[in-house]
Structure 1
Amino acid sequence: MIGKEERSGEEKSDPEETPITDIMQTDFARVHSETPVADIYRSFTRKGCFDIIVCDGVGRFLGIITRMDLLSAITPGMGIRSRRKLGCLECIHKSAALHASELMTRSHVTVSASATVAETLQAMEKNRHPDVIVVDNDGIARGLVEMCDIITFLVREGEI
């Protein structure tokens, strides 16, 4: 069982009690759903190939644009999503995308801003996904948590 212990005069943070908001990234790439696809490609070239969160006008999470979404749009004939050499319908649709809302993946793992580190790790494990979007009660994207953020927390706290 994980509990609080003394470490160099400091108390350890318990993953069962530590809010995910304590370790989430708040500086993440986000675009409006009507952002032109050309701008999204430019964003990937400037900032590196990081996933981009798609939000509405007030910041509500709508979806995510991943490297695989861009690859599917660039090479629809390869059927990246279907892992076949024939084009998949989703890939062909994404190749005709004009705006972020047409290119994004709508389903992605989210956790509430009130979740703990342990609950977030469980959501990652259950969904077999290495990152999650943190949303508040109104569905507004407040942060991003990647597996490396959780590992950093666990190492820092002496859990692993």
Structure 2
Amino acid sequence: MILARDIMTTDVVVVHPEDPVGDVVKLFLEKGITCAVVVDQKGKLQGIVTDGDIMAAIRQRRPVYVDLFNSVFVLEDTSDLNAKIKTLTFRPVKEIMTRKVITANEEATIAEVAGLMTDHRIKQVPITSQDRLVGLVRRHDIVQAVARNTP
């Protein structure tokens, strides 16, 4: 039986809640990754930030309300996309990260971790021990484990 501890990556890229999003984006590009686990100064899991979180933050649109002849119309936000992206780079990660993180422990089976990914439509699962990050299992790790164990 293959367990999470057998396939997890232990060299996990971590960031802190106050880190600017722009620094995280640079880290993603430098390391060729699409997510980082957010931990506090004591290493306690706070959240996860993914390329999807960044895309969602860019996509956020604030509606513009116009009151005309006692009727309210909602118009699309026409703010400049470049300005929005520039502003995003200075925002702290805690403003865009996913706070409700699906985790597993080191003793979880590969099937349990794969089930979490499928059920929650996520691409990675942080592995924790006593609320502390010890590893990360990505889809790729599971596929590699299956390939290694296929005759």
- For Structure 1 versus Structure 2, the TM-score category normalised by the shorter chain is 0.7 to 0.9
* Structure with the bigger percentage of strand: 2
Considering only CA atoms, is the larger Rg found in Structure 1 or Structure 2?
2
Could you tell me which runs of 5 or more consecutive residues in structure 2 were left unpaired when the two chains were aligned: 64-74, 78-83
Q: TM (normalized to structure 1)?
A: 0.69
SS in 1 for 2:34: coil
Aligned pair 1:143/2:135, yes or no?
A: yes
Unaligned runs of 5+ in 1: 1-13, 80-84
2:111 & 2:132 partners in 1: Cα distance?
A: 22
Partner residue of 1:46?
30
Q: Deviations over 1:58-114 (max 9, x none)?
A: 2111111111222233343399xxxxx956xxxx9x949721211211123211122
Amino acid at match of 1:36: P
Counterparts of 1:65 and 1:147 in 2: how far apart (Å)?
16
Give the equivalent residue in structure 1 for 2:98: 105
Aligned residue pairs: how many?
132
TM-score (norm 2): 0.73
Structure 1 residue 21 displacement after superposition: 0.6
Q: Which residue of 1 aligns with 2:147?
A: 155
Q: Does the residue aligned with 2:61 lie in a helix, a strand or coil?
A: helix
Tell which has more relative contact order, 1 or 2 (C-alpha 8 A, sep 6+).
2
Counterpart selection for 2:116 from 120, 123, 126: 123
